[in-house]
Structure 1
Amino acid sequence: MNIKQNKVREALKNIPSVDEIINKFQITDTPLKFLKYSINIELSNIRTKILAGENINDIKKYTFNKINKIFNKIKNNSLQPVINGTGIILHTGLGRAPISKDILVDGILKNYPYSNLELNLETGKRGDRNIHVSSLFNSLCDCEDSTIVNNNASAVILMLNSLCNKKEVIISRGQLVEIGGSFRIPDVMNKSQSKMIEVGTTNKTHIKDYEDAITDNTSAIIYVHTSNYKVVGFTNEIDINKLHLLAKKYNLPLLIDLGSGSFADFKYLGLPFEKMISKYIKKGADIITFSGDKLLGGPQSGIIVGKKKYINIIKSNSLYRAFRCDKIRISIMETVLRTYYTSKKISDKNLSIQLFKRSRNKLKINANKIISGLSTEITKNYKINIVDSLVEAGSGSLPTEKIDSIAISIYSKIIKANKLYQFFLKNTNPVIGYIKNEIFYIDLKAVTNDQIDDLIKAMNKVLI
């Protein structure tokens, strides 16, 4: 055995055992199995490094330091609140639509310790969990019936599998989108067991293209809203009303995947225009699917609205049970829907809409409060400015529109922007900003009013 092999053997021998590590750190507030699992993963990584020839001085000290960092992480919950300084209100990585504390607490308390989720309190018999939100959706969308499932991907698959199983569905080539997270319409249609029939071209599709593709095996026409991009220039897209008339002529359902979709009159609220779901219903859509955690401002969910006869078919599909929502999301969604008094009057409890509505003037008040709360040392050592910014809605909503906002720019000659980003990211109360032209920014569009003091504390801690 050579010297190198001896060193490797000695290093492996000096790795502390799982029991030795547990006895040293004396952690009692974490499940023992979870501790052992975490320790074994790290010990395996250390063994791999040693066997690969990495020279580690004082293997015990090295191991204890590594384990200590892991224990510091697992002492805290993995899921934790953050300050969204990206300006993107519907940030997918940060949980999409923000929901107010009042609604979140109410949604949980309504289920403690039990609720009438599937019990009809009038008859005492088993009921439908969908009943708690269906009437609200029906009235807001001006539709006959509705249901709620796990997310919009589930909604699209369920809709197609229920109404178009092993049959043809006509779609424009310009609508074969990839939304994100590998959610591609062609793949989704394939998984739903429906047969996709492409018509038209990427930039132009005419009503004749749809009609020429209709056969005895055609089960539906689908319109997919290109929610995360827009084709401009030499283009043509068929009006929903014309598609409705064509579908009606051949006794076919017109299906629409909106992706996002709104109950609020965004134009009236002074925001970039987004066509309301009720408008698509009025134009003749038979079934519409959309996300509950985008412009609506609710929890993760997929909403299916439209004609009662089609909703009944969808709800009778065995996949419906696999895709259905849990009690917490249904409870939260009910309260969110009640914030929509009208399309032009929305309760302050709808946090998403309130964040979208905030003007630059209101955001400047918050920005000035933040700057005035910083220590003199920080304002001397950093170049900190309040600047106008333009942000996106996020999650594929309002794809071509920019929304007015205010950001705080932070520049240092000594500390690079990427270092500042990391420092704020690793703060006890993480702040997620962004870098542009080597300057670190914290945008205030998605920072709630009750987070301002926390942001001041974070900046005073990180920048000192």
Structure 2
Amino acid sequence: MSDAATSERRRARLARVPAVERVMSMHAVQRLTEVYGRTQVIDAVRVSLDALRGELLAERNADVAASGGADGEALESAASYEAHVVARASSVLEQRARSHFRPVFNLTGTVLHTNLGRALLPDEAVRAVVDVLTRPANLEFDLTTGARGDRDDLIDDLICELTGAEAATVVNNNAAAVLLTLSALASKKEVVVSRGELVEIGGAFRIPDIMARAGARLREIGTTNRTHAKDYEEAINPRTALLMKVHCSNYAISGFTKSVEIDELAQIAHRHTLPVAFDLGSGTLVDLAQWGLPAEPTVRGTIDAGADLVTFSGDKLLGGPQAGLIVGREALIRKIKKHPLKRALRVGKLTLAALEPVLQLYRAPEFLAQRLTTLRLLTRPASDMHAAAGRVQPSLQHALGERYAVSVEPMFSQIGSGALPVDQLPSYGLAVRVTTARRGGRALVQLEKALRDLPRPVLGRIADDALRLDLRCLEVADETSFIAQWAELRL
């Protein structure tokens, strides 16, 4: 075909591209406006028309002038162009309407996965959040007096009951709790911390950095592996605001080590009329050892040992929503609540609504392992995961075909989110291996991507030449939907 003929055909094609008004008058597009609204549909139609014109001008219109004759005449009509624009606009609208938040199957083996939202809320918390989402609530309204109230009053009595503290307040995460505490009590003064407790938490947030942003001056003492009581004693001076201890929940130092426990540290601080603050990090309200889990210091135990302030997270071992809790002596909490940062870091009604029913569960510890989702997942016996693996394995093997081998194997889960990093929980899951040695690593990466592309993405981990799917967080109620979507798997 000559250049002139090609140019003429291109002009003819462009002339067949429908106008916006023509597309908007089509019955199929009118149905779209009933779902998405006219404003969005017009924009999607324009995007689709612009894309079509761009393809035609570049002669890369394979989607439009595909085979149907030697010259693609079957798809060269104006009607075919209109149908193409409508289909593309519909696809644009669907993609835009799709939430970026998507539920996933967490088969990574990490229960409190920071990147996956940490603790899952129990049903009681979900119902409470729905209530305050859909109805006015007494967030800062005292129903007894009819006057303005304090949102902390909704739950501070319950927190104090469970922790033994005199007072409490809540902010949006534990880093905020530490920042607010130091800003309120140690601005332009020194805070004494053991060098071995200057931890870095997720997202590269470091205790020294938080301390600097709070306006406090860090006074490091001891060495990485050993700090003694006399190191604290010798560091105290007229500029000292408080002594601080940080629970090293996200790493462990073993061997030739020494640290000062909170009860001894409290005695030192109180002899010098100083407060001592303990950042527990993950924080737990109950002794986990009673369920066979590794022991962690509890908030009540820390308060009983003499800590004046304790900060900890709401969405880790506590099993609640993201929050930072500060508990301790009433005079100190009162000072913290008066600080200007408190308003900037305060939590909203959704957090408080979710936190209260989670805390209520702790009043019945005999039911906690069944009703608190986080604890239920952490305490699942390995036999449960082994049975689940046996039920799921045949369907996954069938979906993957002969290219992969799926086997039921023992695994080790971890708590996650910096809690008990060296402790592992016996589990079971599925190990997927490539049956041919050639380019096995690439095939596993492709499979991992295909699992992430499922309607409800499946997240595992590649280790030891296998894609490992730990089933600790796959509960029986989800198995049916988990298996059903294998039909959508595209390898």
**Matched residue, 1:337:** 359
- Conservation of the 8 A alpha-carbon contact between 2:40 and 2:93: no
- Conservation of the 8 A alpha-carbon contact between 1:341 and 1:347: no
Match of 1:406 among 420, 428, 431: 428
**Matched residue, 2:342:** 320
- Conservation of the 8 A alpha-carbon contact between 2:140 and 2:148: yes
SS at match of 2:220: strand
Deviates more, 1:306-315 or 1:108-117: 108-117
Distance 1:247 1:125, change over 3 A: same
Equivalent position amino acid for 1:173 in 2 = R
Per the TM alignment, residue 299 of structure 1 is displaced from its structure 2 partner at its CA by: 0.4
**Matched residue, 2:310:** 288
- Conservation of the 8 A alpha-carbon contact between 1:265 and 1:343: no
Matches of 2:251 and 2:43, distance apart in 1: 44
Matches of 1:320 and 1:282, distance apart in 2: 26
**Matched residue, 1:188:** 210
Per the TM alignment, residue 344 of structure 1 is displaced from its structure 2 partner at its CA by: 5.4
- Conservation of the 8 A alpha-carbon contact between 1:134 and 1:147: yes
Matches within 5 A, 1:29-44: 29-30=35-36
Matches of 1:421 and 1:256, distance apart in 2: 41
* Structure showing greater relative contact order (alpha-carbon pairs closer than 8 Å, 6 or more residues apart): 1
Matches within 5 A, 1:14-413: 26=29, 28=33, 29-30=35-36, 57-58=60-61, 71-343=93-365, 345-346=367-368, 348-371=370-393, 382-413=404-435
- Conservation of the 8 A alpha-carbon contact between 2:140 and 2:151: yes
Show CA shifts across 1:117-143 (max 9, x none).
111111111111112211111111111
1:448 aligns with 2:475: yes
Per the TM alignment, residue 369 of structure 1 is displaced from its structure 2 partner at its CA by: 2.4
- Listed as ranges, the gaps of 5+ residues in structure 1 are 1-9
Deviates more, 1:432-441 or 1:84-93: 432-441
Show CA shifts across 1:153-181 (max 9, x none).
11011000011111111111111111021
SS at match of 1:258: strand
Deviates more, 1:24-33 or 1:193-202: 24-33
Distance 1:103 1:376, change over 3 A: same
- Conservation of the 8 A alpha-carbon contact between 1:18 and 1:36: no
- Listed as ranges, the gaps of 5+ residues in structure 2 are 1-9, 66-83
Match of 2:444 among 417, 420, 423: 417
Distance 1:126 1:284, change over 3 A: same
- Conservation of the 8 A alpha-carbon contact between 1:264 and 1:344: no
Distance 1:202 1:347, change over 3 A: closer
- Conservation of the 8 A alpha-carbon contact between 2:125 and 2:353: no
- Conservation of the 8 A alpha-carbon contact between 2:448 and 2:467: yes
More helix by share: 2
Per the TM alignment, residue 356 of structure 1 is displaced from its structure 2 partner at its CA by: 0.6
Matches of 1:21 and 1:396, distance apart in 2: 58
Distance 1:217 1:458, change over 3 A: same
Matches of 2:210 and 2:18, distance apart in 1: 48
SS at match of 1:453: helix
Q: Structure 1-normalised TM-score?
A: 0.86
Per the TM alignment, residue 36 of structure 1 is displaced from its structure 2 partner at its CA by: 9.1
Matches of 1:127 and 1:359, distance apart in 2: 45
SS at match of 1:80: coil
1:429 aligns with 2:453: no
Distance 1:368 1:231, change over 3 A: same
Show CA shifts across 1:294-352 (max 9, x none).
00000000000111110000111111111111101101100011111355541633111
SS at match of 1:398: coil
Matches of 2:461 and 2:205, distance apart in 1: 26
Count of aligned pairs: 449
Matches of 1:130 and 1:203, distance apart in 2: 39
Matches of 2:411 and 2:88, distance apart in 1: 41
Per the TM alignment, residue 42 of structure 1 is displaced from its structure 2 partner at its CA by: 12
SS at match of 2:428: strand
SS at match of 2:192: strand
Deviates more, 1:100-109 or 1:145-154: 100-109
Deviates more, 1:183-192 or 1:116-125: 116-125
Equivalent position amino acid for 1:233 in 2 = G
Percent identity for Structure 1 against Structure 2: 33
SS at match of 2:454: coil
Distance 1:264 1:22, change over 3 A: farther
Equivalent position amino acid for 1:439 in 2 = A
SS at match of 1:81: coil
Show CA shifts across 1:250-278 (max 9, x none).
01100111110111221001112212111
Matches of 1:361 and 1:230, distance apart in 2: 29
Structure of larger gyration radius = 2
- Conservation of the 8 A alpha-carbon contact between 2:111 and 2:377: yes
**Matched residue, 2:77:** none
SS at match of 2:193: strand
**Matched residue, 2:68:** none
SS at match of 1:410: strand
